Every structure is written in structure tokens, then in C-alpha cells.
Amino acid sequence: MKRILITGGAGFIGANLARRLLAEGHAVTILDNFYTGRRDNLAGLGVTLLERDVRDGVPGEWDWIFDLACPASPPHYQRDPLFTLTTSIDGIRAVLEAAQRCGARVLHASTSEVYGDPLVHPQPETDWGHVNTVGIRSCYDEGKRVAETFALEHRRAYGTDVRLVRIFNTYGPHMDPADGRVVSNFILQALRDEPITLYGDGSQTRSFQFVDDLVEGFLAYIQADPAALDAFFAPKGYAIPVLNMGNPGEFTVRQLAEEVLRQIPTSRSELVFRPLPGDDPKRRKPDIAWASECLGWRPTIPLAQGLAKTIAYFRALA
Amino acid sequence: MKRILITGGAGFIGANLARRLLAEGHAVTILDNFYTGRRDNLAGLGVTLLERDVRDGVPGEWDWIFDLACPASPPHYQRDPLFTLTTSIDGIRAVLEAAQRCGARVLHASTSEVYGDPLVHPQPETDWGHVNTVGIRSCYDEGKRVAETFALEHRRAYGTDVRLVRIFNTYGPHMDPADGRVVSNFILQALRDEPITLYGDGSQTRSFQFVDDLVEGFLAYIQADPAALDAFFAPKGYAIPVLNMGNPGEFTVRQLAEEVLRQIPTSRSELVFRPLPGDDPKRRKPDIAWASECLGWRPTIPLAQGLAKTIAYFRALA
């Protein structure tokens, strides 16, 4: 049994991770300020709750810290860009200080957004990214980028065992219905017989990872032997482990909409098209060769199956 | 007469800027922690000194703040990467808070390093850059990138009049002899009859801007009418002014070495070649069309003339 802290644990990924860790018999504490996290996600779970802002410091003694605290969807992270920036930056600093104090191992949630509007397709971890420093997505993208740099430098300075995971588009139960993500939007629109909104012509592709696959990857990654990780990354010139986790299956946003409608045959929704927002990434698909080699991990849940579980979750909510 | 604060004002650029502002009759205060700044640069100047760390906050009432505080050369910024990161980030936060409090106008020194190892040549301000988040230059590059994002978002949230300047390779009197920059290295090596060290084959190009040209650009930029800047940048989709300042004249590092030797004909130095360090940018040259259109600014001092003044400075030091 490990003493585990999940920052941002009342959010979508944290809620799924917490359930899995509890099922394995671990002691799980969730730190959340409920800025975007939802109390419903924790109802009846049996976790300890630390209701506070990660920027104010991370108390306690932990074996593992999963650092997930940050608004992650555009409507949330653009609501208060300075809050988003400082949550990324001061958040990871607080987590790294806690890890240094108590010797915890840290898995830090980075994001495919560090690749921005990528020039390479699919994106391997060695891609440096293509990101605007002064655009409408910058508060998230640049905050998350520099959080990786803090993790690297803290590890180099103090030997902190921090590992980076760049999470690609993920969906599943416990997604926030209000966070404007494409999967939840389409399902909710279909369930409500509202028009299904596509931006641009819907031909931009996304990878869609079911959250159970990601949680599986997290568990493999946090349990990986530090020496084995070093042996994998040092020869590549990396002083910190960095792994993509996502589903390399590529679908257009339009294909996603059509699959949602196929699974909700009673829906009277139709597709409508709107202009693309600024700096919207056109294509995103993970190269997961490293996670596969290093952890033996790869996603196994097909889109149709994951969507069915997600639709069931949203039906039950309604 | 303006009340002017220069953070990092005991450094190379600050020392030159302070002299120029004093000559124009302004009241100049310098905030510096002397981490890389040098007391010699301020000797007999007649500035007020605030000896403190910019991260600890910026007291006082100012009309203009020139925000230059950050180690900027690889040997300095790699000495303590976490110090570098936090100086970039907490430094600009402190400056922005001070500006908000007292209504100061801020010119923030960003850097051509935000372009990283650029894919476009020369680099216009619209280039998003190509930067590694977890490499040996990241503590500087990513810290400076996210500082731009803080400036943008503070401006959007509070209307802070902050302007960004991306400074390209600059040289001149008051450079730190110990900071490992190519111009000062070559001059010192030539004056000492030591081998002149080139990395790689010396064919990588750099732009070399004489510091007086940069200071001229700073003065034009800080005095520019806010409405005129908005009228220039808003139609381009920029919510914050961003201008490159550098000299687009392109020289190989080898040509620089040869010009230094030409100007120090008594030197017995010879060229030697060493391996390139990691993540070293191969080419860097500013596109200064925007600064030229917007401010009527462009550099006027040729390399040979600027080098002569710089060599005279280093001779006097020795």
C-alpha cells in the first residue's frame, strides 16, 4: 500500500485514477481547489480530501504524487489566464518541493499541447514543438512547457524522481460536461438533440484515448524502476523521463461526430460548421514507440467501445 | 525628466542604457542583485542603487521600467538553472505588479532565444520558435518564453503598458569579460595572444548588434505612443507589442574572429576548433521590418566600428 497524493484529483483524469488506485488497495488523498474539479467525482469514494490551492504548497508525506492540477480545456484555461499560468508554474514548484522534502516519486501530467501546432506528424517526444508565446492558447501551452523545464532542473539539482507524461486527447466517464471538449460536446449535443458543432470543415484529426488506457499507463510508469528509466533515457540525451501517452488511432472530428450519432440512433442532431478559433492545432497524433518500448504499454480500447462507456456515463448524469 | 528604473541595470545593456538616460537628464535607479551585474559598471555614474533581487518585489514609483534582470549568457544562466528560471518568471511578475501599482510603462527585455534553433531565416516576430523544453538551454529559453506570456496576460487582464523587445546578439563596452560571449571571448583571446576558440567549423552565422544601436531602439520604443503601437499591432492579431531588435548583417563566427585579429594586428592568436555544445543554435538573424516600420529604427553602426570601440574598452580594462 502506497501513500498517494493526486493534485487536481477531483478532475476528470484524477477521478478515474483515484478509483483505480483505491481498487488496488492504496491510500489516496486528493488535493483540489475545485476551480475545475467536481465534488461529484469524489462522492462516496473514500479518499481523503485536502481542499486547497496547489500553489499554496503541498503538505504531507507521500510515496507517490500524481501532479494533475491545472485547468486543461480552453474554456477553463482561458477564463483566467494568469491563474492558469501560475497554477502550472507555482503548482509544479510546490509539488517538487514536497517531493524533495518527503522523497516522493512524482508523475507530472504534461500535455500534447507542448507540441502546439506540430510540424512533425505523428509527434515523437523528441519534437520540440511549435507554440506561440503570445497567443490565446499561450497561457496553457507555455505554462505547461516551462513546468517541464522546472521538473528537469529540479531533478538535475536535487535528484527528485519526477517523470513527465505528455497526455494526448483523452475521454471517458467523469469528463466535465461543461469543459467544451469535443467528445463531451458531441455526446451532450446528440443526447439533447442539439446541432453538433464542428469547427472548420471537421477534417482536422485528433487521437482519442480512453481514460482507462491512460490510467494503465500511469500505473506502469510510476512503478517503473528508476534505474531502468535512466538506462532508457540517458543514452537519448534526456536527463528526465518524458513519455507520450495517447491513442495513435487517428480520426477526423467529423468521423467522431458520426460515430457518436451512430451510437445514439434516436438523436435528431445534425452537423453544423463554425469558424476555427485562433491557434487551433490542426493535427495531433502521438508517437508512442517510447512508452511501448520502455513500459510495454499501449492503448487497447477501441474508440467505439470507449465511446459506449462515455455515452452511458453522460446518459446517467442527465 | 522621467523617473526610471532599470532592473538588472548593472549588467552590460543596463550600464549602457543608464549612461544614455542620464545624459538625457532622467533620474535613473538601478535594481540589481549583482548575480551577474558588475559594480564597476556603475562606478561614478550618479544613479540610485536598489541592491536587491527582483524576485523579492519591485518597490518605488516609476514612469518607465526597463526590465533587464536575468542572467543571459550560457555560462551564467546554466550555473544555477532554477535561479535562472525563477528570475525570468518571478522577476517579470514583480515588475508587472509594480507597473500596475504605479502606472509605469514597461519595456521588457525578451530575447532571440525564444526562437531557439529557428526553422525560418531570418526570424520575424511571427515565428513561433523551435525550442527544447528539457535541454541544457531550456532554463533560459523557456523562462524567457513564458515571461512573454505573463506580459501578454497581465496586459490583457489589467491594461498594463508592457512592451516586448526580442534582443538579438549584442556587443559593446561593459560586456562582462567572463560571460563567455563570442565577441568578448575573441577580443580577450586576441589581446592575450591565446588561441581563438571556435565551436564546430565556425560557419554558424550570428548577427552582431552594437549596443548603442539597441539603446537607441529602446528609447524610440519606450517613447512610442500607446495608441500608435496598438494601431500597428492589433490588426496583426497581437494583443501586446513585440519587436525584434538586432542587426540583420550576417557574419559567420569565423569572419568575426578574423575581423578581431585584423583590428589587433599585434596579436599572435590562432584559430582553434572545438565541438559544438548541445542545442547550440545554428543560425540567427533578425527580421527588423516591424521595428523599422513602427519606430523608424534600424541599426547604423557597422561591425568594424563597433568592434573598434569594444576592443578599446577591453584594452582599457586590461
Average pLDDT, chain B: 95
DSSP annotation string for A93-136? HHHHHHHHHHT-EEEEEEEGGGGBS-SSSSB-TT---B--TTST
Q: Is A186:A272 a contact under the CB 8 Å cutoff?
A: no
Looking at residue B168, the DSSP 8-state letter turns out to be: -
Please give the model's pTM, rounded to 2 decimal places.
0.95
Dump pLDDT digits (tens) for A69-88: 999 988 899 999 999 999 99
> How distant is the Cα of B206 from the closest Cα of chain A, in angstroms?
22
Give per-residue pLDDT as tens, A208-233.
999 999 999 999 999 999 999 999 99
B176 located within any domain:
no
**HEC profile for B193-254?**
CCCEEEECCCCCEEECEEHHHHHHHHHHHHHCCHHHHHHHHHHHCCCCCEEEECCCCEEEHH
- A140 classed as catalytic: yes
pLDDT at residue B281 tops 80: no
CA distance B115 to B130: 6
Q: If pLDDT is split at 50, 70 and 90, which confidence band does A279 have?
A: low
Rounded to an integer, what distance in angstroms lies between the CA atom of residue A127 and that of residue A129? 6
Residues of A with CB under 8 A from a CB of B: 81-82, 85, 89, 114, 116-117, 119, 128-134, 138-139, 142-143, 145-146, 148-150, 152-154, 156-157, 164, 237-240, 242, 278
Structural domain boundaries, residue A142:
3-174+209-248+285-301
DSSP secondary structure string for all residues of B70-136: S--SHHHHTTSHHHHHHHHHHHHHHHHHHHHHHT-EEEEEEEGGGGBS-SSSSB-TT---B--TTST
**Residue A252, min C-alpha distance to chain B (Å):** 26
Whole-number Å distance between alpha carbons of B94 and B78: 23
Size of the A and B interface in Cβ pairs below 8 Å: 104
Q: Is residue B267 included in any domain, yes or no? A: no
CB burial of residue A99 (10 Å; 0-12, 13-18, 19+): buried
Q: For residues A17 and B205, which has the higher predicted lDDT (pLDDT)?
A: A17
Enclosing H/E stretch for B35: none
**Residues of chain A neighbouring B282 (CB-CB closer than 8 A):** none
User: Per this entry, what is the length of chain B?
Assistant: 318
Statement: residue A191 has pLDDT above 90: yes
Nearest to residue B283, comparing CAs of B173, B136, B131, B118? B118
Our count of domains for chain A comes to 1
Residue with cell 538551454: B137
A51: left (phi over 0), alpha (psi -120 to 50) or beta: beta
Beta bridge partners of A68: none
With cell 549568457, the residue in question is B73
In a domain, A167, yes or no: yes
CA–CA gap between residue B70 and residue A44 (Å, rounded): 49
Mutation target among B80, B153, B166 for the A interface, most CBs of A within 10 A: B153
Strand B48-51 versus strand B27-32 pairing type: parallel
pLDDT at residue A295 tops 90: yes
Establish if B317 belongs to a structural domain. no
pLDDT in tens, B124-181: 999 999 999 999 999 999 999 999 999 999 999 999 999 999 999 999 999 999 888 8
Inside any domain, residue A14 = yes
Task: Extract the C-alpha cell encoding B79.
Answer: 550555473
Express each pLDDT in A20-74 by its tens digit: 999 999 999 999 999 999 999 999 999 999 999 999 999 999 999 999 999 998 8
Interface of B with A (CB under 8 A): 81-82, 85, 89, 114, 116-117, 119, 128-134, 138-139, 142-143, 145-146, 148-150, 152-154, 156-157, 164, 237-240, 242, 278
Distance in angstroms (rounded) separating the CA atoms of residues A62 and A3: 5
ipTM: 0.94
With respect to residue A307, please indicate whether it lies within any of the assigned structural domains: no
* Pairwise CA distance, residues A172 & A155, whole Å: 32
pLDDT bin (cut points 50, 70, 90) of residue B282 is low
In a domain, B265, yes or no: no
Which of these is catalytic: A35, A77, A115, A140?
Answer: A140
Cβ B12 vs Cβ B172: under 8 Å: yes
| CA B66/CA B61 separation, integer angstroms | 13
Length of chain A: 318
CA distances from A301 to A104, A171, A235, A287 (A): 31, 11, 32, 17
The rounded mean pLDDT for chain A is: 95
Q: Provide the grid cell at B302.
A: 557597422
The two most distant CA atoms of chain A are separated, in Å, by: 58
Residue of chain A nearest B236, judged by CA positions: A135
H-helix or E-strand spanning residue B315? helix B303-317
Q: Which residue from B119, B146, B239 is facing A146, i.e. has the nearest CB?
A: B146
Q: Collapse the DSSP code of A28 into the 3-class scheme (helix H, G, I; strand E, B; otherwise coil) and give the result.
A: strand
Chain A residues in contact with B55 by the CB 8 A cut-off are none
pLDDT digits (tens, 9 = 90+) for A75-122: 899 999 999 999 999 999 999 999 999 999 999 999 999 999 888 989
* Residue A116 within a domain: yes
User: The domain spanning residue B114 has which CATH number?
Assistant: 3.40.50.720
> Does the pLDDT value for residue A165 go beyond 70?
yes
Three-class SS of residue B274? strand
Give yes or no for a contact between B155 and B105, defined as CB atoms under 8 angstroms apart.
no
Name which of A219, A237, A259 is nearest A66 in CA terms. Answer: A219
